[in-house]
Chains A and B, each alone.
Chain A
Amino acid sequence: MNRLPDLSPDKSPLSLVELIYGTPIKEVMSADPVTLDRKASMRRAQELMRDKGITGIPVAEDGRLYGIVSIHDLIRAMQIEKLDTTVEDLMTSKVVTLEEAMPLSMAISYFGKYSYGRFPVMNSQQLLTGIITVRDINVTLINRLMQEVTRYEAMLDNDVKPGLSITRVFHTRRHDFEHGGRASTAIKQHLVEHNLDRRLIKKVAIASYELEMNQVVHSIGGTISFKVTPESVEILVQDRGPGIENVEAALTEGFTTAADWIKSLGFGAGLGLPNAKRVSDEFFIHSQIGVGTTVKAIIYLKSKETER
């Protein structure tokens, strides 16, 4: 089974810490859970589980919790042929509960500590108000993380400060030739607006376009980010795979793995990476099969100027 990562506050990203320590269980649990009276039969428990698609039902009356009937209890009842017995007799009565006001981190750690599939949730008066399952946590985490990531991406995309220095991130998709070059065109435009030397702009344009189109042609998609400072333009491209089998060969002019239809569009002649490397002042490439490829290309804006 997969292990949970160490979620202690000093070892996790701040936004994740805020999320799991700052969200009360009340916002994650399913409220007003289905319950059973003590005198209900195990057969009734079986019907409820089947109809509602759940695997555990708290036994409670007027909010007071007496126990919980899980699918394991039900299987046991079926084995000993006691489906008509009251739930009171076969329920688990030593129930581990959580409280509404506790942070989500507590629920996560309880699921790690105990092998239960659900925990009843109590309010401050010790009355049952909800039930929490791993599914509830998953749904909450995915939703919140989506909001967070969307917020971060928007921040990165809009980080256009006045002046030359900017950081921008663009996304590429596999075989999306239609939008291929969008990132490079935007960055070139930015440099033109700041009256950079045309030869430097062209170097940036070449490196950026080749790396961008490489992602479109070869990868399953990724990001291309630019960090422009008065000293240099740093182009960082990261894709999600499939990775380059032989990086040295890929850096050799004329080496290509592109399909014929891609070649017919004027790409995939094995010039991309060599071109990008040639115009860059610093060039790093790392690739791992099944993981992806990262390329960092840096073009100096200052020192080259003084060399001339």
Chain B
Amino acid sequence: MTLKELAAQDWIEVVSSEYDDAQIKGVYTSDLLSDVMANAEEDSVLITIQAHNNAIAVASLAGINGIIICNNRPVPDDMPATARKEHIALFRTAHNQFKTSCLMGKLINGA
């Protein structure tokens, strides 16, 4: 599954579309940025409610290519620009972290 394929899902809203398409190799769900930093795998997608620039910074440092903001949390105006600058895909969904994680699980593992 690639980021572009994820973007096409009907429950995904694309907030920033300027990113390098890449295979999604894993998913990490956490709202704790130190935890993401320490434990998320490279080339994964982050599911979180942290809708601010520090989430982008952590994603960039941890080698995460895409972020899904849950619960339709409002995205600050400067966040899409930061995501573009770091070539990170920024998505949003109305689902919560658990539902989003389940949907991602199905997409990735086909379960």
Q: CB within 8 A of B34: which of A180, A181, A271? A: A271
Q: CB within 8 A of A271: which of B38, B53, B57, B60? A: B38
Q: CB within 8 A of B32: which of A184, A185, A266? A: A266
Q: Is the CB of B38 within 8 A of A205?
A: no
Q: Is the CB of B63 within 8 A of A198?
A: yes
Q: CB within 8 A of A266: which of B33, B61, B62, B86? A: B33
**Residue of A with least CB distance to B86:** A185
Shortest Cβ distance from residue B76 to the other chain A in the assembled complex, whole angstroms: 10
Shortest Cβ distance from residue B36 to the other chain A in the assembled complex, whole angstroms: 8
Contacts known (A180-B54, A184-B61, A209-B61); A269 close to B38, Cβ less than 8 A: no
CB contacts under 8 Å to A, within B43-97, are 48, 50, 52-55, 57-58, 60-63, 86
Q: Does A59 contact B (CB under 8 A)?
A: no
Contacts known (A206-B38, A267-B33); A188 close to B61, Cβ less than 8 A: yes
Q: Which residues of B contact A177 (CB under 8 A)?
A: 52-54
Q: Which residues of B contact A267 (CB under 8 A)?
A: 33-34, 54
Contacts known (A184-B57, A209-B58); A265 close to B50, Cβ less than 8 A: yes
Q: CB within 8 A of A205: which of B54, B61, B86? A: B61
Shortest Cβ distance from residue A259 to the other chain B in the assembled complex, whole angstroms: 16
Bound CA–CA A206/B36 (angstroms): 10
Q: Which residues of A contact B13 (CB under 8 A)?
A: none
Q: Is the CB of B52 within 8 A of A206?
A: no
Contact bitstring A25-50, B, C-beta under 8 A = 1, else 0: 00000000000000000000000000
Q: Is the CB of A206 within 8 A of B33?
A: no
Contacts known (A180-B54, A209-B57, A265-B54); A202 close to B34, Cβ less than 8 A: no
Q: Is the CB of B58 within 8 A of A202?
A: no
Q: Is the CB of A181 within 8 A of B58?
A: yes
Bound CA–CA A272/B63 (angstroms): 18
Q: Is the CB of A185 within 8 A of B50?
A: no
Q: Is the CB of A181 within 8 A of B57?
A: yes
CB contacts under 8 Å to B, within A198-214, are 198, 202, 205-206, 209-210, 213
Q: Is the CB of A198 within 8 A of B34?
A: no
Contacts known (A206-B37, A210-B37, A275-B38); A266 close to B31, Cβ less than 8 A: yes
Interface size on A, residues (CB 8 A): 22
Q: Does A260 contact B (CB under 8 A)?
A: no
**Residue of A with least CB distance to B37:** A206
Q: Is the CB of A202 within 8 A of B62?
A: yes
Shortest Cβ distance from residue B68 to the other chain A in the assembled complex, whole angstroms: 15
**Residue of A with least CB distance to B31:** A266
Shortest Cβ distance from residue B43 to the other chain A in the assembled complex, whole angstroms: 10
Q: Which residues of A contact B54 (CB under 8 A)?
A: 177, 180-181, 213, 265-267
Shortest Cβ distance from residue B57 to the other chain A in the assembled complex, whole angstroms: 3
Bound CA–CA A184/B59 (angstroms): 12
Shortest Cβ distance from residue A207 to the other chain B in the assembled complex, whole angstroms: 10
Q: Which residues of A contact B5 (CB under 8 A)?
A: none
CB contacts under 8 Å to B, within A250-289, are 265-267, 269, 271-272, 275, 278
Bound CA–CA A205/B48 (angstroms): 20
Q: Which residues of B contact A205 (CB under 8 A)?
A: 37, 61-62
Q: Is the CB of B42 within 8 A of A266?
A: no
Q: Does A178 contact B (CB under 8 A)?
A: yes
Give me 12 A-to-B residue pairs in the complex whose CB atoms sit less than 8 angstroms apart, sorted by A's number: A180-B57, A181-B54, A184-B57, A185-B86, A188-B60, A198-B63, A202-B62, A209-B58, A265-B50, A269-B32, A271-B38, A278-B38
Extra pairs beyond A181-B57, A205-B62, A213-B33 (12, CB < 8 Å): A181-B53, A181-B61, A202-B61, A210-B34, A266-B31, A266-B33, A266-B54, A266-B55, A269-B32, A269-B34, A275-B34, A275-B37
Shortest Cβ-Cβ A-B pairs, 5 listed: A181-B57, A271-B34, A266-B33, A205-B61, A266-B50
